[in-house]
Structure formats: C-alpha cells, structure tokens
Amino acid sequence: MRGSWWVVVLVLVLGAGCMQSRGGRSGGGSRSDGGSIDPDAAMMPSDDDGTGSEQDASSPPPGEAEDAGAFRDGGTGTGPTRDGGGGSGSARPPGSACTCDSDCAADGPRPGVCVFGVCMTRASRACSAAGSSAECGAGSRCWGIAGADIALCWPDCATYACAGTCDADDSCAPRPDGSCDPSCGSVCGEAPCGPDTPDGYCPDGQACVGGACVEECSSSAPAGWCPSGATCMGGRCVPMSGCPTWECTSRCTDLIEMPGSTDPRSPEARLAGYYIASPRYRYLRRDLTMLIQYAACEVARAFPGTQPIALLDLSQADGRTPGADVGRLRHPDGTHRGDDMDLAYYVTDGTNDGDIVCGDGSDTNPNGVRGRYNDGYFCTTEENIVDWPRQAYWFAMLASTPLVRVFGIDRTLPDDFRRELGRLLSEGRISRAQHDRALRLGYGEEGGWAFHHHHTHMSYNRPR
C-alpha cells in the first residue's frame, strides 16, 4: 500500500442512491484512472431474501482505490476553517502549495482552505450537486471530502496553476503524498508518528510502533513488523491463529458458491463464524470467499463466543444482479456481480442477522417507512446496538486485501468506526494498511448511501 495516509479521509462517496466510491468525485461519470461509471438512479425495494435497497456504481475501477487519486464526497459539510499556525503569511490563489489555511487566499466570501498541501476555498454552502459551480467562484467546482465535514471548491486546472495533480475532471487535486500542518490546516489528516502521536502516519511501507516508524513486513523487509497474532515469514504477515489464508493464488476471479451453512445454529456455522442468509444469491469471487472465511475465523479467534454473522446478498449463480432471475432486481443492474457483498452488522444481542441497528435495535419497519429510531433510510439517533469491538475488527480483517474499494455504512456510524479502528491500530492489533483501507467508508444522503441502517455493503476491485 502506498504511503498516502490522507486517503483515509479522502473516501469518495457518490451522489445518488447507494452508489459507491471510485477514484474520482461523487456524482460525476469520470474516474481519475480514465474509466467511467454511469450512475443508475433507480431505487430498488427489498424482498423476502434481502435487507435493503441499494444503488451502487455500475462497475468498479481496476486496481487499488488508493491509486485512483483523491476521493471526494457530495460536499455536505459545514466544518470550520482553521486560522493561525505556521503559514507563510502571504495568501496565495487556489491551486497553490500551502501548509496552513492562512496560506490560501479567500475567493470573495469563501475563505481559503489548505487541503493536503493544495489551496482551495470553502464552498458557500453544501454542494447542490457533485461538481456544481453554484457554490464556488469562477474557475472552481464543488465537491466534499468524506471525513472532513466540509464542502470545498476544487480549482480547475484550466484556470489556476496547480501545485498538486490535475485529475481526470481537470481539477487540481492533492498529490498522493501531499501533506499540510494539521494544527493550522483544515484538511491535513493525521499528525506524523512520534512519542506524542503513537498512531500517527508513517511513510509508505512503515508502521508507527511505540511512537517510531519501523519497516513493515515485506519482501524487502523479511523480518519486518506484523500486527500481533502474526509473524513475518517470507516477506508476508502470516497469522499464527490457524485461520485459513485470505490470499488467493489461482482462478481468483472465478464465481463460485460461497461455502457454508444456511442455519445459524448449526455446528458448521458456529465453527465458520458465519452463515448464508440469502441462499439463492450466495455466489462470489473465489478470492472474496476466502477473505470472508479468513475474517470470520479471525473474529471468532479474537472474541471467543462470537455468534455467526449473516452473509446477505452476494450474487446470482450466473453472475447477474440478485433478482434478475425473477425479473425484480434487488439492487441496481450491474451491481452484486461477484465483487460486492451485503453483510449484517455484529450487534450486542448476538443475533448478527441484518436487522436494524438504530437505537435499542427494536425497530422492524421496512425501508422507506419511519420507525422509532430511523426514518426508513438512515438511523436518526447516534445510539445503536453495534458490537463495536467485533465490528471494527471484522472490517479490518476484510481490509486485509489491497483490493478494497469502499465499505458502505449508515451515516451515523463513521465516527464510531474511526474511534474503534484507531484503538485497534494503537494497540498493535491491526496494521496501518488494514486501518486505512477499512476507513474507505461510504455513507450519507448526499453520497447516496441510504438503507445501510441494517447491513453493510462491501465492494472490492478486481485484481489486475
């Protein structure tokens, strides 16, 4: 994984339905890797086998998401701009290099903001649409950055000199290794690793251990660092738990039947740590079936007594979107074709079955119908019954592969994920790569992530 620590907060969230992140900005059809995705705006109702409607990007980008440039969201935030700090004292136009917000000139009523080393301006209000010009001055367009709670005016390369990199939409974006001072810049990510920041960022290939950057296990560092419970062997972190490997070596993209029982009470499900809750749509890429088996085993090992978690819609046996076989799609056409999976949340009552997690977990309303703790689309309270130690560890284990694209969740949950994953990282139980990939989160109305108050949506790129 590249040392682009800022990718953690630059997770793209698309602009309609339940579309997932790609290496460009929300709502548009372009990707910074040059491909294209056409959003499908139809909302699909759930049926007896499913847990919620979704709207996803119609096809994933190739390769690792971190190679696709800056990841932006729909621009709903209204976060503050930081003043003071170690800026140069000379305000510069959008697109210029910066260290602090004070380095960046305002554009009329829109204050300057330093975004990972590139000057931008605050949008006048939440983006009315991804790439809108209405909230920005001439020569800039509006998007946001998930995790920063701020709507930004991204400068056009055609208008401004760019100290970063010009992406596929000809906007000036931060470089993958871009940085700024988090004490005086609004969007700078984490502080560097040090005695006072023992979970801070380190350069590519290194981990922050005890406040110092050390080499991670790799082919060039065969004795490098691995998370607790694993050892470096042959340049790879190998789990010592006895769990099956997630690493696939042959026919990895073949669509196969997900092994497992359909009965959560069966000895097979208890041993595997999961069960098949949607038997008709239990097909998935071979490498992802291995990943699920590995992750469920690791959760069960780390948390004895864990009840099996439900695997919901995966794909049809013919590789088509679930519901195509009966003429009633359960997801937008082109999604859930072997690369995506719907999974329940781990919950404190141990059922882990894909029920609503909002409030005390008592809501049973269908999608689109208001309940006590949800509005039919999202949770309406910060309270929930998610079993956070297990859920965060599950996400980290599912992020062991560099093929993570985006993990879709309810809009009330990102801060909980950040807190718990940060704790796991600081305790040395997960690697920086797992932490960063697991925080490629999709959520929120502007991003199109309705109906994830009862399940998560995991999307993966295809191997090159």
Residue 199 lies in a domain: no
Q: What is the number of domains present in the chain?
A: 2
Domain identity same for 62 and 161: no
Give the list of residues 6+ apart from residue 388 with CB closer than 8 angstroms, or none.
Answer: 416, 420
Specify the pLDDT at position 446: 73
Residue 201 lies in a domain: no
Residue 223 lies in a domain: no
Domain identity same for 147 and 268: no
Domain identity same for 160 and 47: no
Domain identity same for 350 and 314: yes
Among 162, 185, 208, the domain-final residue is 185
Residue 86 lies in a domain: yes
Give the list of residues 6+ apart from residue 271 with CB closer than 8 angstroms, or none.
Answer: none
Could you tell me if 211 and 193 are in contact, meaning their C-beta atoms sit under 8 angstroms apart?
Answer: yes
Domain identity same for 370 and 444: yes
Domain identity same for 157 and 133: yes
Specify the pLDDT at position 291: 97
Specify the pLDDT at position 15: 31
Regions of the chain where pLDDT drops below 50: 1-88
pLDDT tens for residues 249-303? 889 999 999 999 999 999 999 999 999 999 999 999 999 999 999 999 999 999 9
Q: Which domain holds residue 318?
A: 1-72+229-464
Specify the pLDDT at position 89: 53
Specify the pLDDT at position 31: 23
Specify the pLDDT at position 85: 41
Domain identity same for 298 and 398: yes
Residue 286 lies in a domain: yes
Domain identity same for 247 and 338: yes
Among 130, 161, 185, the domain-final residue is 185
* DSSP-based three-state secondary structure for 18: coil
Q: What is the pTM of this model?
A: 0.61
Could you tell me if 263 and 357 are in contact, meaning their C-beta atoms sit under 8 angstroms apart?
Answer: no
Among 185, 211, 245, the domain-final residue is 185
Specify the pLDDT at position 195: 83
Residue 202 lies in a domain: no
Domain identity same for 343 and 425: yes
Domain identity same for 277 and 373: yes
Domain identity same for 175 and 260: no
Q: Determine the Cα angle at 50 with ends 329 and 336, to 5°.
A: 55
Domain identity same for 309 and 453: yes
Residue 171's closest CA among 12, 306, 42, 291?
12
